[in-house]
Amino acid sequence: MFSSFMINTWIVATMVAVVAGVVGLFVVMRGSSFAAHALPLGSLPGAAGANLLGINELFGLILFAGLGVIGISRLARRARHDAATALCLVFLLGLGALFLGMSSEYSQGVYALLFGEVLGISTSQIAPVAGMSVISIAAIALMFRPLLLSSVSPELAAARGISSAGMDLAFLTVLAFATSIALPVVGALLVFSLIVGPAAAARSLAARPLGALFLSAGIALITVWAAISLSYVSNWPVGFFVGAIGAVSYAIGRLASRFLQADRAQAAQVPSISTTALPG
């Protein structure tokens, strides 16, 4: 499990988990789960096109994820955000079918990108993933306050001069980076589970945004590490374990949140000594 050929997997998976946890909290807060699901699927044609051209598939993923961001942002100005996301997804998937039809040697690569490949991380992928991870985390750190305000209260953000359209475009760009670097590890079908599951659990457990941010990254790390270990032992796709652990973590987070709320409500109903009249 910790052999030399697995080192690349652990390094890349750790970076992917941290980025997914940080970005995922704002995905949950902004209700952008559909976009987090659509962007990785829509970027698959980029990998197929890069394979046809003989270049690194990561660059193709980034390019088509960027096209998805531009399409969603443009169409969302004239239609509902979910409708714009669906239209872009359908168009990009159509391109993917075309590119795959032009190549008969990419079936194994498609399978790896759909379901994740725990042993498929090469040394050449580490530097691009590290660079994109640093860019994604730095972007979230720079726009943390306006992004948080526009996520919690768009009206108050607009009153303070924060452009809703600008924040949507900036966040979708960061989300595209995050989903592109997560694809080789988790797979397109379940990349959104790594982004949404830990973040939703952290939001249920933590009251403060900054605490929820660190907790989301921590849960994502545990999820990915456990998924890689189980995938190595069982030879099952890592994406399956990421999805299962993500769902379990969210369920635990919701249950714990209900117990905490019940305890707080019960504590609020018990009169304190200072406000209760003592006999005699």
Averaged pLDDT of the chain: 79
Other beta carbons within 10 angstroms of residue 210's beta carbon come to 11
Tell me: pLDDT of 218 over 90.
yes
- Region 42-46 average pLDDT: 77
According to the model, what pLDDT value does residue 106 have?
A: 57
pTM for the full model? 0.79
Alpha carbons 89 and 253: distance in angstroms, whole number = 31
The shares of helix, strand and coil residues in the chain, as percent rounded to the nearest 5, are 85, 0, 15
Residue 215 to residues 10, 99, 128: CA-CA distances in angstroms? 20, 40, 26
Give CA–CA dist 196/182, Å, rounded.
Answer: 13
Q: What number of other Cβ atoms are within 10 A of residue 74's Cβ?
A: 12
CB 246 within 8 A of CB 223: yes
Dist. CA 80–CA 65, nearest whole Å: 20
Provide the pLDDT confidence category of residue 215 given band limits of 50, 70 and 90: very high
The whole-number average pLDDT for the span 238-252 is 85
pLDDT band per the 50, 70, 90 thresholds, residue 273: very low
| Residue 200 pLDDT > 60 | yes
Per-domain boundaries in the chain: 4-270
User: What is the number of other CB atoms lying within 10 angstroms of the CB of residue 38?
Assistant: 25
**Percent of the chain topping pLDDT 70:** 81
CATH of domain 4-270: 1.10.3470.10
What is the pLDDT, as a whole number, of residue 19?
92
Choose the weakest-confidence range: 133-137, 202-206, 232-236: 232-236
Residue 216 pLDDT > 90: yes
Task: Render pLDDT for 131-157 as a digit per residue (tens, 0 to 9).
Answer: 888 999 999 999 999 999 988 888 888
pLDDT value at 73 more than 80: no
Say whether pLDDT at 96 is over 80: no
